[in-house]
Amino acid sequence: MSTGAVIGPDGLARCPWGLEAESMEDYRRYHDTEWGRPVHGDDALYERMCLEAFQSGLSWLTILRRREGFRAAFADFSIAKVAAFTEADAERLLADPGIIRNRAKITAAIGNARVAAEWAPGELDAFIWSYAPDGPRRAPRSTADVPATTPESTALAKELKKRGFRFVGPTTAYALMQACGLVNDHLANCHTRGAA
């Protein structure tokens, strides 16, 4: 697989993962319309945090294809609603074939909602965005130029854990930062870089 931008069938250059053959349409749509664009709102950021945690150890395609199942199972990722989930809800989730049925990740998602529910409205958004790097970075020319973690993602993960969040290590925190537009890791020649 190429590490630089790749020209798709529509003639547009994209990050190579946005054109993986087996899943081109799913990845291309996510890459072109969502990944790297700023996400705000406590519930929206909570959703992304959960999905990044569930992705740990799996391909992102697995999460993308189950996203609607996750939304249905987790009450559209309403922090207030998920924070009120009971043990019966956790058991229901473990039996739900529309999501990743991992007890530790399900427990973390519910626990993280309970932590976030204690925060003031907008506080989670402001907190996560406070870790966005200052100023623009040099655009990566290839995927080899894209880090797995950064000092900011390490600091974000450390502070989230300190405040009671789980399944938010530095790599997951950096994936969240990439997905939610805190950093722009679209490759320099990628047609969506300027839109992100």
Active site residue 118: no
* pLDDT for position 27: 86
Instruction: Identify the active-site residue in 52, 131, 152, 174.
Output: 52
Residue 153 in 3-state DSSP? helix
* pLDDT for position 145: 94
* pLDDT for position 141: 94
Active site residue 30: yes
Instruction: Identify the active-site residue in 60, 131, 152, 174.
Output: 60
Using CA atoms of 104, 105, 106, 111 in order, give the dihedral in degrees to the nearest 10: 90
Residues 80-134 pLDDT 10s: 999 999 999 999 999 999 999 999 999 999 999 999 999 999 999 999 999 999 8
Query: Got the DSSP string for 35-102?
Result: TTS---SHHHHHHHHHHHHHHTTS-HHHHHHHHHHHHHHTGGG-HHHHHT--HHHHHHHHT-TTS---
* pLDDT for position 129: 98
Active site residue 46: no
Question: What does the angle CA 83 – CA 79 – CA 173 come to, to the nearest 5 degrees?
Answer: 105
Please state, as a whole number, how many other Cβ atoms lie within 10 Å of the Cβ of residue 196: 17
Instruction: Identify the active-site residue in 27, 30, 46, 131.
Output: 30
| Per-residue pLDDT of the chain in tens (196 residues, 90 and over written 9) | 567 888 888 889 999 887 766 567 888 899 999 999 999 999 999 999 999 999 999 988 899 999 999 999 999 999 999 999 999 999 999 999 999 999 999 999 999 999 999 999 999 999 999 999 988 788 999 999 999 999 999 999 999 999 999 999 999 999 999 999 999 999 999 999 987 6
